[in-house]
Amino acid sequence: MPATAIATDGAILAAQAAFPPFETSTFPSQLFWFAISFGVLYFLLSRWMLPRIGSAIEERRDRVADDLDAAAQMKAQSDEAVRTYEKSLADARAKAQSVAANARAEMERQIAEETTQVDAELAKKSEAAEARIAEAKAKALSEVRVIAASAAADVARHLAGVDVTEADAAAAVDAKA
């Protein structure tokens, strides 16, 4: 027999035979073993696997809840730390401004004192200088009068040939002034 004939005969036989699970003659035994397998599998899962899985899930849920509680507590602590930091920063700024204002006021007070002292010293020096100027002016004016009288006497002597005393010349200068 040729190989193609054997393959064709096998295909025909295979096509005529039903798929074993679909054979109606084996349904009762299949259902029996299915029920037993299902019962054993259900028993094993419900008594052994599902409690383990359930406890693992419950343990994980507890761990997640604990982690969330710890995270909330840490967040509250960090928020409190931020509030404390901001308060201390605000206090430090206020203190720095207060110190700066006090230093500024002290410097202004010292500047005012020194300005007052310098103004008083300048006023004294100005009064002393004015007194010296007035004295020098008075001295210069008195010397100018003497010089003018002497010059008038010399001019009268040289130009007019008149011998004038210094007292007469001084009287003439005083009369013209």
Number of neighbouring beta carbons within 10 Å of residue 38: 10
pLDDT at 6 over 70: no
Q: Read off the pLDDT band of 91 (50, 70, 90).
A: very high
What tens digit of pLDDT does each residue of 94-110 get?
Answer: 999 999 999 999 999 99
Q: Six-digit token pair at 58?
A: 């419950």
Q: Six-digit token pair at 125?
A: 């020096």
Range 122-148 average pLDDT:
85
Q: Which residue has the tokens 């299915």?
A: 34
